[in-house]
């Protein structure tokens, strides 16, 4: 998606540890006009999948997922990373490692929000090693639902998450795939 | 907002400790069609405030804020509750107590995302004691920006947060105000 690649080149910042910082339009300040263009693009790429629900994980996937859901005319469910007093006990859960924060955490989705008849589109902001995505796919399987596909805003193509998902036959669509990053340049696939 | 009140009566669950659980359409499963109606309503109520940015806090405020932002034609900034390796060091921060989770936490917003010339509309899903809202108002003040108002989906009118904000002259608009809750009934103000 050219508009997104241009924006990454204009406003993305490269930090030590293969971190691509896109806080100014994606992760903390959210450019809703851009999100709408991304939502339309996801709809185009997953038009034939019969999506009935979008699944994402808190926090930075939620904005993109909600805007995209308008084009699929479906609700969004987000997996929780942190426990709350009032979380239902009837949950699907999966263990996920965060390389950015260097911690293990458990993502949880209340069982009744994903039904066996659902066709689930997973949407997230980043795909690198695929930890969070695989955790969500695991939850879709636990629910006995169908995985319609995985829509990612930025895939780090130099890490293995995307490759592994494609080898498993997952319908993966990434709006921008970063092939390589150095201190002062970004190359797309 | 009648549509929202009806939905709360139909799908809200009351749990011990004054917890109103609206996970099925607001907090974990997000009904985007309803969010659009709420977004239009917020626009109507804050039409004259010249809003330039919407501020919310992760995670469950993000969806409503993003959908509402489409009607204000402005970006959304969300305050982070959890530290990440790659968070900017130049942040505004405020301490907040969560009664639901019974912990203190610090919310943070990268300084450059709220400018002194901004007119900031704070949007959040719940207002009870006002802890999170007051933390965000503090951040707006630190930035030297103008508080355009506070838009809340559900205010617990039997707690003091809303009353205190109105007494301070804050333009507060809550789409539903719960006056009282018992084990099996909800009364709106």
- The pLDDT tens digits for B50-76 are 999 999 999 999 999 999 999 999 999
pLDDT the model gives residue A1: 97
Question: Concatenated DSSP letters for B5-57?
Answer: HHHHHHH-EEETTTEEE-IIIIISEE-HHHHHHHHHHHHHHTTTS---EEEEE
For chain A, give the mean pLDDT. 94
Q: Are strands B19-21 and B13-15 parallel, antiparallel or unpaired?
A: antiparallel
Q: Are strands B76-79 and B146-156 parallel, antiparallel or unpaired?
A: unpaired
Cα nearest neighbour of B18 on chain A: A86
CA distance A100 to B94: 23
- Measure the N-to-C terminal CA separation of chain B; round to a whole number of Å: 11
Please report residues of A whose CB lies closer than 8 A to that of B112: 24
User: Does the pLDDT at position B85 exceed 60?
Assistant: no
Question: A139: buried, middle or exposed (CB in 10 Å: 19+, 13-18, 0-12)?
Answer: buried
Please report residues of B whose CB lies closer than 8 A to that of A31: 75
User: Cβ separation of A28 and B113 shorter than 8 Å?
Assistant: yes
CA distance B113 to A121: 31
Say if pTM beats, i.e. exceeds, 0.90: yes
pLDDT the model gives residue B86: 57
**Which pairs from A2-9 meet CB under 8 Å and 24+ separation?**
A3/A34, A3/A37, A4/A34, A4/A37, A4/A38, A4/A153, A4/A154, A4/A175, A4/A176, A5/A176, A5/A188, A7/A31, A7/A34, A8/A154, A8/A176, A8/A178, A8/A186, A9/A186
Which residues are within 8 A (CB) of B131 and not within 5 positions of it... i.e. 6 or more apart?
A: B96, B97, B98, B99, B161
Query: What does the pLDDT look like over A51-96, one tens digit per residue?
Result: 999 999 999 999 999 999 999 999 999 999 876 655 667 999 999 9
Q: Which residues from A are below 8 Å from B when comparing CB atoms?
A: 15, 17, 19, 21, 23-24, 28-33, 35-36, 58-59, 62-63, 65-67, 69-70, 73-78, 80, 82-86, 88, 100-102, 109-110, 112-113
Report whether B143 contacts B111 (CB < 8 A): yes
CA distance B134 to B116: 18
- State the pLDDT confidence band at A183, using cuts at 50, 70 and 90: confident
CA distance B155 to B178: 6
User: Does the pLDDT at position B83 exceed 80?
Assistant: no
């Amino acid at each position: 998606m050219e508009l997104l690649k241009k924006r990454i080149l204009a406003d993305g910042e490269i930090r030590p540890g293969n971190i691509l910082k896109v806080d100014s339009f994606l992760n903390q300040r959210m450019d809703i006009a851009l999100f709408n263009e991304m939502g339309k693009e996801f709809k185009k790429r997953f038009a034939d999948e019969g999506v009935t629900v979008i699944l994402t994980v808190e926090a930075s996937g939620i904005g993109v997922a909600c805007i995209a859901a308008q084009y699929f005319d479906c609700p969004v469910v987000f997996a929780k990373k942190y426990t709350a007093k009032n979380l239902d006990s009837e949950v699907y859960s999966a263990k996920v490692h965060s390389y950015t924060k260097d911690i293990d955490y458990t993502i949880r989705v209340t069982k009744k929000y994903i039904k066996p008849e659902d066709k689930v589109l997973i949407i997230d902001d980043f795909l690198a090693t695929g930890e969070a995505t695989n955790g969500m796919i695991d939850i879709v399987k636990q629910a006995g639902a169908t995985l319609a596909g995985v829509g990612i805003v930025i895939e780090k193509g130099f890490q293995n998450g995307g490759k592994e998902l494609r080898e498993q036959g997952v319908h993966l669509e990434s709006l921008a795939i970063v092939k390589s990053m150095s201190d002062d340049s970004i190359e797309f696939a």
